[in-house]
Structure 1
């Protein structure tokens, strides 16, 4: 089951009213979570889904003497719903979250894992209410279909772990031209 996208400050919406092209337009949610729309006036939309916003605008247009308004609301640009991707990925940072965003998709958005990553050690940190939860995922198992690709939600933090053995081996290879005699490296 997917949860609907919740609109927040900075999101840009396309609002269309069927057969009333003069009312259709793009609006940006202000920093307080409000939009302004003709006839319906100011409307607090923070935390609402696009479907809920369409219903609210439709109800206000009906009260404002528009007969049976057919309203659709679509996301044009997402600014409020972000996930943090960090650790051993090529491009760590903040990435937008949509209604069907998965772990594999946000890692792909971060341009994949680095050569030092440990794909068996990926942590998703999620805050629900006042409690923080962490789940550990194995990208190798997800890629092979052993278990489903988990859903990522707004404000999640994805941490891709590193492989200390890979780093030690890399450092060893970098130093090996300077070493004249063979060395044996013990890896745990």
Structure 2
């Protein structure tokens, strides 16, 4: 039994100690052989614009120029609607701040305000979130920004857990009312093998479980005397 445990431990440790693969140049990746990377320019530091959409329970600020009675902070209700004096109820769900401002101006124009000028700002968004589940340290809901990517989402969730499987990360997304899924390899992204994919609101990220890591943990817990010298080698 002791010999069997020893053989299993050695096999698992050697698997975990495999050398790290160097980044390989490709059409999407330039590997710099020098000690320093060139600095990014201004365009590299700005993400492509994504429309920020208003959703249920978001908080918005509505300013009507020259009409202080209509200027106020509002919370979108659970059905995605807002209510304002002289304007009534409007469906704000799925609208940008500019589109909602145009709707308010249209409701006011000609009846109550001659030339209304309205601005809308999203103060706090709780609807633009990504769900992170599976083998991460802190599963939960995280806000989505213009520059949100898979690696940033994992970092927001405090990283991968002890039993995470790097090559089994799924992004679930609804596109054109169709459920779609993409399989990603975090280890390959870290090596620069392919681009860190963008994450959008309502995406669901699920990090898979590694049975091998659980077996290693269980074997080590059952054979502490045998495992100690092997773990020492790794340190």
Q: Which TM-score applies when normalising by structure 2? A: 0.66
Where structure 2 has 5 or more consecutive residues not aligned to the other structure, the ranges are 1-47, 230-235
Aligned position for 2:205:
158
Question: Comparing both structures, which one devotes a greater share of its residues to strand?
Answer: 1
Q: Which TM-score applies when normalising by structure 1? A: 0.80
Distance, in Å, in 2 between the alignment partners of 1:19 and 1:104 is: 46
**Inter-CA distance 143–39: structure 2 relative to 1 (3 Å threshold):** farther
Give 1:68 shift. 3.9
Distance, in Å, in 2 between the alignment partners of 1:113 and 1:45 is: 37
Give 1:154 shift. 2.8
Aligned position for 2:89:
42
Give 1:29 shift. 1.0
1:111 to 135, 158, 168: 158
Distance, in Å, in 2 between the alignment partners of 1:67 and 1:101 is: 42
Secondary structure of the structure 2 residue equivalent to 1:140: helix
Give 1:87 shift. 0.8
Aligned length: 182
Q: Larger radius of gyration, structure 1 or 2? A: 2
Two-structure CA RMSD over aligned residues (Å): 2.7
Secondary structure of the structure 2 residue equivalent to 1:121: strand
Where structure 1 has 5 or more consecutive residues not aligned to the other structure, the ranges are 183-188
Question: Comparing both structures, which one devotes a greater share of its residues to helix?
Answer: 2
